[in-house]
C-alpha cells in the first residue's frame, strides 16, 4: 500500500473473510490485488470462488460478497493493524509456536478496536495456555471468556464454540486433579520411604550396640581368663 501510494496509485485494504487484499481507489474499478500472491489481480467473482473452497461449500452452493466495500475509501489503521496481527497469530498457532501467539494476542489487545476482538483473544489465549499445559491459567481465561461473552452479548454468542471451550475446561480440570493425586501418592510414598529408612537406621544402631556389648563381654571374659592362667615360669619359681 505504501509502494502503491508512492507511484501514484493509492490502495486501501479490504478485510475479506480468511484473506486480506487491497484495491485501487479508482472509480468504477472493481478489481482486487492479492498482495500475498505477488500482486495478482483478481475480480470479486474469483474471490467468491476462493472463499467457497475455503468454507468447503459445494458446487451448487452460492457465496456472494457484499460489494459495499468498494464505496469505502477510508483506511482505518487500527482495524488494518488488528487484521495483520490476527493473521500473524494464526500463523504462529498453526506452527505450534504458542508463546509467540500469546505475545501477538497481547499486542492485539492493546489496539483492539472492539470488545468482541478482545474476547476472542481471551479465548485464543486460553487455548494456547491449554496446549502449553498451563492448565490453571487456561481455566481462568476460558471460563472468563464464556462468562464475559454471555454477559455482554448473550448466551447465543457462544453457541458455535461454547461446547468445545467447556470441554477444554473440563479436560484441564481433570489434568490438574490427576496431578494432585499423583503428588499426594508421591508424598505418601516418600514419607513411607523416610520412615523405613529411619527404622533401618534404628535397627542398624541396635545391631551396632549389641555388637559393642558382645565385644565388651568378650573382652571382660578374656581378662578374667588371663588373670586365672599363671604366667609362664610362675610355677617354676614357686617350686624353687
Q: Which domain holds residue 132?
A: 80-173
Residue 228 lies in a domain: no
Find the distance separating the first CA and the last CA of the chain, reported in whole Å.
134
Give the pLDDT confidence of 92-121 residue by residue, as tens digits: 988 999 999 999 999 888 876 578 888 889
Picking from 17, 43, 71, the residue at the C-terminal end of a domain is: 71
- Tell me what pLDDT residue 99 has: 95
Indicate whether 148 and 92 sit together in one domain. yes
Indicate whether 85 and 154 sit together in one domain. yes
Picking from 71, 92, 123, the residue at the C-terminal end of a domain is: 71
Indicate whether 27 and 88 sit together in one domain. no
d(CA 96, CA 76): 31
d(CA 139, CA 71): 44
Residue 223 lies in a domain: no
Strand partners, 34: 40
199 pLDDT more than 50: yes
Cell numbers linked to 157: 454468542
- Tell me what pLDDT residue 227 has: 41
137 pLDDT more than 60: yes
Residue 99 lies in a domain: yes
∠ CA 72-117-69, nearest 5°, is 15
CATH of the domain at 106: 1.25.40
Higher pLDDT, 14 or 93: 93
Give the pLDDT confidence of 1-10 residue by residue, as tens digits: 778 788 888 8
Residue 125 lies in a domain: yes
d(CA 125, CA 138): 8
Poorest-pLDDT segment among 103-107, 157-161, 192-196: 192-196
Residue 224 lies in a domain: no
Q: How many domains does the chain have?
A: 2
Residue 111 lies in a domain: yes
Tell me the pLDDT band of 169, cut-offs 50, 70 and 90: very high
Indicate whether 85 and 166 sit together in one domain. yes
Indicate whether 89 and 158 sit together in one domain. yes
204 pLDDT more than 60: no
Indicate whether 85 and 150 sit together in one domain. yes
d(CA 176, CA 185): 14
Residue by residue, what is the 3-state secondary structure of the chain? CHHHHHCCCCEEEEEECCEEEEEECCCCCCEEEEHHHCCEEEEHHHHHHHHHHHCCCCCCCCCCCCHHHHHCCCCCHHHHHHHHHHHHHHHHHHCCCHHHHHHHHHHHHHCCCCHHHHHHHHHHHHHHHHHCCCHHHHHHHHHHHHHHHHHHHCHHHHCCCHHHHHHHHHHHHHHHHHHHHHHHHHHHHHHHHHHHHHHHHHHHHHHHHHHHHHHHHHHHHHHHHHHHCCCCCHHHHHHC
d(CA 39, CA 69): 19
Tell me the pLDDT band of 124, cut-offs 50, 70 and 90: very high
Picking from 153, 173, 193, the residue at the C-terminal end of a domain is: 173
Poorest-pLDDT segment among 32-41, 56-65, 82-91, 185-194: 56-65
Indicate whether 164 and 107 sit together in one domain. yes
CB atoms < 10 A from the CB of 224, how many? 9
Strand partners, 31: 43
d(CA 222, CA 134): 72
Residue 162 lies in a domain: yes
Give the pLDDT confidence of 52-85 residue by residue, as tens digits: 776 655 666 777 777 776 666 565 667 777 777 8
Indicate whether 59 and 93 sit together in one domain. no
- Tell me what pLDDT residue 228 has: 42
Residue 103 lies in a domain: yes
Indicate whether 48 and 20 sit together in one domain. yes
Indicate whether 22 and 105 sit together in one domain. no
Amino acid at each position: 500500500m505504501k509502494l502503491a501510494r508512492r507511484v501514484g496509485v493509492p490502495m486501501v485494504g479490504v478485510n475479506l473473510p480468511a484473506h486480506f487484499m487491497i484495491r485501487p481507489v479508482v472509480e468504477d474499478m472493481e478489481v482486487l490485488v492479492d498482495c500475498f500472491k505477488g500482486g495478482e489481480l483478481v475480480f470479486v467473482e474469483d474471490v467468491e470462488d476462493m472463499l467457497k473452497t475455503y468454507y468447503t461449500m459445494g458446487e451448487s452452493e452460492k457465496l456472494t460478497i457484499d460489494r459495499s466495500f468498494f464505496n469505502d475509501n477510508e483506511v482505518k489503521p487500527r482495524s488494518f493493524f488488528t487484521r495483520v496481527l490476527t493473521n500473524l497469530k494464526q500463523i504462529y498457532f498453526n506452527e505450534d509456536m504458542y508463546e509467540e501467539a500469546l505475545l501477538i494476542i497481547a499486542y492485539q489487545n492493546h489496539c483492539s478496536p472492539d470488545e468482541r476482538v478482545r474476547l476472542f483473544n481471551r479465548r485464543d489465549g486460553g487455548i494456547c495456555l491449554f496446549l502449553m499445559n498451563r492448565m490453571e491459567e487456561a481455566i481462568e481465561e476460558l471460563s472468563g471468556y464464556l462468562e464475559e461473552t454471555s454477559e455482554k452479548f448473550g448466551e447465543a454468542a457462544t453457541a458455535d464454540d461454547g461446547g468445545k471451550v467447556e470441554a477444554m475446561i473440563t479436560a484441564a480440570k481433570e489434568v490438574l486433579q490427576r496431578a494432585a493425586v499423583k503428588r499426594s501418592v508421591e508424598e505418601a510414598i516418600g514419607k513411607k520411604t523416610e520412615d523405613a529408612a529411619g527404622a533401618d537406621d534404628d535397627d542398624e544402631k541396635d545391631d551396632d550396640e549389641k555388637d559393642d556389648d558382645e565385644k565388651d563381654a568378650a573382652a571382660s571374659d578374656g581378662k578374667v581368663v588371663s588373670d586365672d592362667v599363671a604366667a609362664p615360669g610362675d610355677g617354676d619359681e614357686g617350686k624353687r
